[in-house]
Amino acid sequence: MDGFHLFRHQLDKMENSEEAHARRGAPWTFDPELLLKCLRSLRIEGSVYAPSFDHGVGDPIEDDIFVTLQHKLVIVEGNYLLLEEGAWKEVSSVFDEKWFIDIDIDTAMQRVLKRHISTGKPPDVAKWRIDYNDRPNAELINKSKKNADLIIRSVDL
C-alpha cells in the first residue's frame, strides 16, 4: 500500500504541511480513493498498473507494478485496509478475505524503533516519531481488527 502515499508535494500544499510531513503514514496521508480505483479496475478489467514506493526518493512511483490476469491471488498489505471511515470503508469492501496480523503494540513499537534507528534516525528522534505518529497509528489500526475475517497472532521466531 506504500505506493498510495500522497506525494511530498501534495503534503506541502496541505494547510499544516509541517504536521503532514511529520505524520506521514497516518491514514490521511494516503490516497485511498486511488487505491479503490486501482482495486476496482483490477476486479473489472483483470489487470492494472499500480504504484510502488521508492524509499530512496521518498515518494510513490506511478504505474510501476503490473498485475495481470495471470496473477490468481493478489495480496494487498496495508495498515488501514480495515478502517470503517471514508474511502477506507469502501476499500475494505473490495476484498474477498480480510486478514489481520495481531501484535502487541509495545512489541510493534520496539520493532519500529529499531527500524527507525537502522535508517539513521537518532534515537531521540526515533522515539519522538513513535510517540507522535507510529503509536497513535498503531492504536487506530488495532481497533480495526474486528473487521477481519481471520486474525493471526504474530510470533517471534
Q: What is the pLDDT of residues 13-71, one digit of tens each?
A: 999 999 999 999 999 999 999 999 999 999 999 999 999 999 888 999 999 999 998 99
Give the residue from 104, 101, 84 showing the smallest Cα distance to 93. 84
Other CB atoms within 10 A of residue 40 CB: 14
Domain locations in the chain as residue ranges: 1-96, 98-156
Phi, psi of 117 (to 5 degrees): -65, -40
CA–centroid distance for 42 within its chain: 19
Q: Where are the beta strands (DSSP E) in 36-145?
A: 48-54, 59-67, 99-102
Read off the pLDDT of each residue in 66-79 and give the average, rounded to a whole number: 93
Q: Which three cell numbers stand for residue 64?
A: 510501476
Residue 69, sorted as left (phi over 0), alpha (psi -120 to 50) or beta, turns out to be: alpha
The domain covering 1-96 belongs, at the CATH homologous superfamily level, to P-loop containing nucleotide triphosphate hydrolases (3.40.50.300)
Residue 11, C-beta contacts closer than 8 angstroms, at least 6 positions apart: 17, 20, 21, 24, 29
What are 90-136's pLDDT values in tens digits? 999 999 999 999 999 999 999 999 999 998 999 999 999 999 999 99
Q: Which residue has the cell 485496509?
A: 81
Relative orientation angle of helices 32-45 and 86-93, to the nearest 10 degrees: 20
Pairing mode, strands 48-54 and 59-67: antiparallel
